[in-house]
Amino acid sequence: MRKKKHADKLKPYLLGTLFGYFAMLITILPASLVLSLMKSAAAGAGAAAVVALTIGGFVCGKTAGLIRRRDGLKTGLLCGAMFAVPIVLIAFITSTKTNGFLLLKIALCMSFAAVGGVSGVNSSEE
Protein backbone atom coordinates (compact mmCIF):
# COMPACT_ATOMS: atom_id res chain seq x y z
CA MET A 1 0.00 0.00 0.00
CA ARG A 2 1.39 3.35 -1.03
CA LYS A 3 1.46 6.26 1.41
CA LYS A 4 0.18 9.63 0.32
CA LYS A 5 2.79 12.32 0.42
CA HIS A 6 2.34 15.48 2.46
CA ALA A 7 2.60 17.58 -0.72
CA ASP A 8 -0.48 15.82 -2.14
CA LYS A 9 -2.56 17.21 0.72
CA LEU A 10 -1.36 20.75 0.10
CA LYS A 11 -1.60 20.57 -3.69
CA PRO A 12 -5.22 21.82 -4.01
CA TYR A 13 -4.57 24.75 -1.70
CA LEU A 14 -1.29 25.79 -3.28
CA LEU A 15 -2.58 25.50 -6.84
CA GLY A 16 -5.82 27.24 -5.88
CA THR A 17 -3.90 30.12 -4.35
CA LEU A 18 -1.62 30.36 -7.37
CA PHE A 19 -4.56 30.40 -9.80
CA GLY A 20 -6.35 32.93 -7.59
CA TYR A 21 -3.42 35.33 -7.69
CA PHE A 22 -3.14 34.88 -11.43
CA ALA A 23 -6.86 35.66 -11.86
CA MET A 24 -6.49 38.69 -9.59
CA LEU A 25 -3.57 39.92 -11.70
CA ILE A 26 -5.49 39.39 -14.94
CA THR A 27 -8.42 41.33 -13.46
CA ILE A 28 -6.42 44.23 -12.07
CA LEU A 29 -4.37 44.91 -15.22
CA PRO A 30 -7.29 46.14 -17.39
CA ALA A 31 -8.74 47.96 -14.39
CA SER A 32 -5.47 49.80 -13.84
CA LEU A 33 -5.37 50.76 -17.51
CA VAL A 34 -8.88 52.20 -17.31
CA LEU A 35 -8.08 53.98 -14.06
CA SER A 36 -4.93 55.51 -15.52
CA LEU A 37 -6.97 56.95 -18.39
CA MET A 38 -9.52 58.47 -16.01
CA LYS A 39 -8.94 61.78 -14.27
CA SER A 40 -9.98 60.52 -10.83
CA ALA A 41 -8.02 57.27 -10.71
CA ALA A 42 -7.56 57.34 -6.93
CA ALA A 43 -11.32 57.29 -6.31
CA GLY A 44 -11.87 54.04 -8.22
CA ALA A 45 -8.72 52.23 -7.14
CA GLY A 46 -10.30 50.78 -3.99
CA ALA A 47 -13.31 49.46 -5.90
CA ALA A 48 -11.08 47.91 -8.57
CA ALA A 49 -8.96 46.26 -5.89
CA VAL A 50 -12.03 44.77 -4.17
CA VAL A 51 -13.40 43.44 -7.47
CA ALA A 52 -10.04 41.86 -8.32
CA LEU A 53 -9.77 40.40 -4.82
CA THR A 54 -13.22 38.79 -4.97
CA ILE A 55 -12.61 37.34 -8.44
CA GLY A 56 -9.24 36.01 -7.31
CA GLY A 57 -10.80 34.52 -4.17
CA PHE A 58 -13.53 32.79 -6.16
CA VAL A 59 -11.05 31.32 -8.65
CA CYS A 60 -8.84 30.27 -5.75
CA GLY A 61 -11.65 28.31 -4.08
CA LYS A 62 -13.02 26.92 -7.32
CA THR A 63 -9.63 25.56 -8.37
CA ALA A 64 -9.04 23.96 -4.99
CA GLY A 65 -12.55 22.47 -5.05
CA LEU A 66 -12.05 21.07 -8.54
CA ILE A 67 -8.82 19.39 -7.50
CA ARG A 68 -9.88 18.10 -4.08
CA ARG A 69 -13.50 17.12 -4.98
CA ARG A 70 -14.78 16.98 -1.39
CA ASP A 71 -15.51 19.29 1.54
CA GLY A 72 -16.06 22.31 -0.69
CA LEU A 73 -16.87 24.81 2.05
CA LYS A 74 -13.90 23.84 4.21
CA THR A 75 -11.59 23.65 1.21
CA GLY A 76 -12.70 27.06 -0.01
CA LEU A 77 -12.36 28.68 3.42
CA LEU A 78 -8.86 27.27 3.96
CA CYS A 79 -7.79 28.30 0.49
CA GLY A 80 -9.30 31.76 1.04
CA ALA A 81 -7.36 32.09 4.28
CA MET A 82 -4.14 31.18 2.47
CA PHE A 83 -5.07 33.67 -0.23
CA ALA A 84 -5.59 36.44 2.34
CA VAL A 85 -2.37 35.95 4.33
CA PRO A 86 -0.10 37.96 1.99
CA ILE A 87 -2.69 40.72 1.78
CA VAL A 88 -2.79 40.98 5.57
CA LEU A 89 1.00 40.95 5.81
CA ILE A 90 1.36 43.69 3.21
CA ALA A 91 -1.32 45.76 4.93
CA PHE A 92 0.44 45.49 8.30
CA ILE A 93 3.82 46.35 6.78
CA THR A 94 2.63 49.37 4.79
CA SER A 95 -0.02 50.77 7.13
CA THR A 96 0.52 52.63 10.37
CA LYS A 97 -3.01 52.11 11.66
CA THR A 98 -5.42 49.20 11.52
CA ASN A 99 -8.27 49.59 9.12
CA GLY A 100 -11.80 48.16 9.13
CA PHE A 101 -11.52 47.94 5.36
CA LEU A 102 -8.90 45.21 5.80
CA LEU A 103 -11.39 43.08 7.73
CA LEU A 104 -13.90 43.58 4.91
CA LYS A 105 -11.31 42.46 2.35
CA ILE A 106 -10.52 39.34 4.38
CA ALA A 107 -14.22 38.53 4.79
CA LEU A 108 -14.90 39.03 1.06
CA CYS A 109 -11.88 36.95 0.11
CA MET A 110 -12.80 34.04 2.36
CA SER A 111 -16.51 34.10 1.54
CA PHE A 112 -15.97 34.18 -2.23
CA ALA A 113 -13.35 31.43 -1.91
CA ALA A 114 -15.86 29.34 0.08
CA VAL A 115 -18.49 29.83 -2.62
CA GLY A 116 -15.88 28.93 -5.24
CA GLY A 117 -14.92 25.80 -3.30
CA VAL A 118 -18.54 24.63 -3.14
CA SER A 119 -18.94 25.46 -6.83
CA GLY A 120 -15.80 23.52 -7.73
CA VAL A 121 -16.83 20.43 -5.77
CA ASN A 122 -20.34 20.46 -7.20
CA SER A 123 -19.34 21.08 -10.82
CA SER A 124 -19.72 18.17 -13.21
CA GLU A 125 -16.68 16.18 -14.22
CA GLU A 126 -15.96 16.29 -17.91
Please provide the size of the chain in residues. 126
Mean pLDDT rounded to a whole number for the chain: 86
Predicted local distance difference test score (pLDDT) of residue 59: 96
Number of structural domains found in the chain: 1
In-domain check, residue 12: yes
In-domain check, residue 1: no
13/22 Cα distance (integer angstroms): 14
In-domain check, residue 40: yes
Predicted local distance difference test score (pLDDT) of residue 7: 60
In-domain check, residue 75: yes
In-domain check, residue 56: yes
Give the mean model confidence (pLDDT) for residues 28-57.
84
pLDDT in tens, 99-125: 678 888 899 999 999 999 999 999 876
Q: Nearest 5°: CA angle at 51, between 37 and 74?
A: 160
In-domain check, residue 28: yes
Predicted local distance difference test score (pLDDT) of residue 97: 67
Per-residue b/e over 58-92, b at no fewer than 16 CB within 10 Å?
A: bbbbbbbbbbbeeebeebbbbbbbbbbeebeeebe
- Residue scoring higher pLDDT (1 or 32): 32
pLDDT in tens, 84-100: 999 888 888 887 666 67
Give the mean model confidence (pLDDT) for residues 42-69.
89
Where in the sequence is the domain holding 74, given as residue range(s)?
A: 6-122
